[in-house]
Chain A
Amino acid sequence: MALGLEKITSGEIYIGGQVISSLGSKDIAKRIQPVFQDPYSSLNPRKSISKIISLPLRALGVAGTKKELNELIDETMETVGLPPRLKYNYPNQLSGGQRQRVAVARAIIMRPDVVLCDEPTSALDVSVQAQILNMLMELRRELNLTYVLISHDLAVVEHIATKVAVMYLGRIVEEAETEKIFKKPCHPYTQALMESVLTPDPKLGLPETHLGIAYPNPIDPPSGCTFHPRCRYAKGICHSDVPELTRDGDCLIACHYPLS
């Protein structure tokens, strides 16, 4: 939606004080770039790496001369830790980690303000995940980027994010600083989510989350608070009224009976 690929049904998205729907697709492209989840499907198999990386430049018509373009491609490839000799290779010759680096290079070559990372590491091996994450952190410092990180991997979120919004069934249920949300979750769902993290020690068994197993149908969500059928603190009002996202101390929370 933020990329302008989907139509906004309600509400607005602001970037740098401007409403996104008032910008053309090219202006959006200059400010926001995506990194997709699966590096195996996000690179066109028929294009060489240099073509893929320089796509945003050529699409926006700011490519400049061939020499400048080449230099910029080399520079960007080195920034993301790719040897420039891979320039003329094709995606099928690269490993998953390298492909994801290419995807990141494509996203940052325009020097955007915001990079939208949709589960940037979930398709990668654990060892490669760490490399990619560290590279993302370094790039954030060097290029002064903002990331919008979508992830289910709590360790990744804790490592990278400064501010976290927890979503349940398409709604934000809690939003706070990373440290706060991991140390003292207020929403029952956030609490269950934190407890659900598996421990490396097999003797401890599976974590107890008190959620039950019935996952509701997202197309036809439950009435009132969408979380109430699985919530162990649910009371009468939770069945009928949708809780609003309200400020409670230093966090935003959508719950009738927040934990304190």
Chain B
Amino acid sequence: MTQATSNNKFDSGLGLDVVFPSPRQIMRQRMIHHKGFIVGGVMVLLIFLMAIFAPAIAPHDPFHQDLSIRMIPPVWNENGTWNYPLGTDNLGRDYLSRLVYGCRISLLIGFSCMMIAAVIGAILGLTAGYFGGTVDMVVSFIITVRLALPAVLVAIAVVALIGGSMKIVILVLGCLIWDRFAVILRATTKQIRAIDYVQAAQAAGCSVLRVIVLEIMPNLFNSIVIVATLEIGRAILLEAALSFLGMGVQPPTPSWGLMISEGKDLMLFNPYLVTIPGVALFILVLGMNLFGDGLRDVTSPEGRS
């Protein structure tokens, strides 16, 4: 939209130098007016900032144990102090610091699992949707096999066999949650492949790879981003579940799932040990889903029902 030349023969004196809103500008307008998108975005953004500035926010060392100050309740309890705003756990570690550092783990796992899943799912979905026929049948079979395996169960089995660590949890989860990417991209690619501009690109002499990457992929971008936000939420929940079962991130690393797991023994008398990380997890996943949903509405309003 930067073009402002009006000296060529088409524009002279016609007042045709009207600037159309670009797709990006239209999208920005829609973003501002979408409540779910804004709320979800702010939630996610806050948690992101928390992860980035963890050392500055956390008042204490999340690993420092001091049994003399164990089980201090949060400030809103009568015995709480501002020194430990969210209290301390049964080993005397500051709960707020552990929460702040824990969100780093959750986000890291969420994003890297999503990346692995996106790559696997996109490759499978795009090839199946583009080539169709036998390739599609093979990929559909792989997707069905994957859907037949319950993710948590497989993850537990694998982690039990090779032992739990963050790397293994990320790899296992990444290789287990690509199904939604593959299913959605396969369907959308199929749809787009039938449209004339793909044929025009083929007729122009584009190679298969070029058609897929430069002509089809940009039109799939919305779907990819939306599925990605939802998958991040799913991966974070799965990691929390695994850690809760003792199969995920190993102590003393602060992870939200692990914090819930460690707090569950003392839940009866100190419910805050479970509710605080639980609420944090809830906010992150809710924010991610609101953000993803909003992104769908903002980028392709015609797909809304």
Contact = CB atoms under 8 A, between A and B. Distances in A.
Interface of A: 3-5, 25-26, 28-30, 32-34, 36-38, 41-47, 55-56, 59-60, 83-85, 87-90, 92-93, 103, 106
B219 A90 contact: no
Contacts of B17: 85
Contacts of A32: 203
A85 B89 CA distance: 66
B197 A34 contact: no
A34 B210 contact: no
Given A46-B218, A83-B8, A89-B20, A38 B196 contact: yes
Interface in B59-116: none
19 contacts: A3-B202, A3-B203, A26-B205, A28-B205, A29-B203, A37-B196, A41-B195, A41-B196, A44-B201, A44-B218, A47-B218, A55-B200, A56-B205, A60-B205, A85-B5, A88-B2, A90-B22, A92-B23, A93-B20
Q: Which of the listed residues B199, B205, B218 has the most CB atoms from chain A within 10 Å of its own CB?
A: B205
Contacts of B269: none
Contacts of A89: 20
B132 to A, nearest CB: 14
Given A83-B8, A93-B20, A59 B201 contact: yes
Nearest to B192: A44
Contacts of A56: 204-205
A29 B219 contact: no
A87 to B, nearest CB: 7
A59 B210 contact: yes
Contact of A85 (B10, B196, B202, B204): B10
Contacts of A106: 200, 204
B25 to A, nearest CB: 11
Contacts of B16: 83, 85
A88 B1 CA distance: 7
Nearest to B205: A29
Interface of B: 1-3, 5-6, 8, 10-11, 16-17, 20, 22-23, 195-197, 199-207, 210, 215, 218-219, 221
Nearest to B215: A44
B258 to A, nearest CB: 43
A30 B205 contact: yes
Contacts of A37: 196
B209 to A, nearest CB: 12
Contacts of A30: 205
A163 B96 CA distance: 83
A14 to B, nearest CB: 18
A202 to B, nearest CB: 36
Contacts of B195: 41
B219 A45 contact: yes
Contact of B196 (A33, A42, A46, A47): A42
A9 B70 CA distance: 81
Contacts of A60: 204-205
A46 B207 CA distance: 19
Nearest to A44: B197
Nearest to A40: B196
Contacts of B201: 44, 55, 59
Given A42-B196, A42-B197, A44-B215, A29 B204 contact: yes
Contacts of B218: 44, 46-47
B205 to A, nearest CB: 3
Contacts of A41: 195-197
A178 to B, nearest CB: 27
A5 B3 contact: no
Nearest to A93: B20
A33 B200 CA distance: 8
A34 B8 contact: no
Nearest to A52: B197
Contacts of B22: 90
Contacts of B196: 36-38, 41-42
Contacts of B5: 85
A25 B211 CA distance: 14
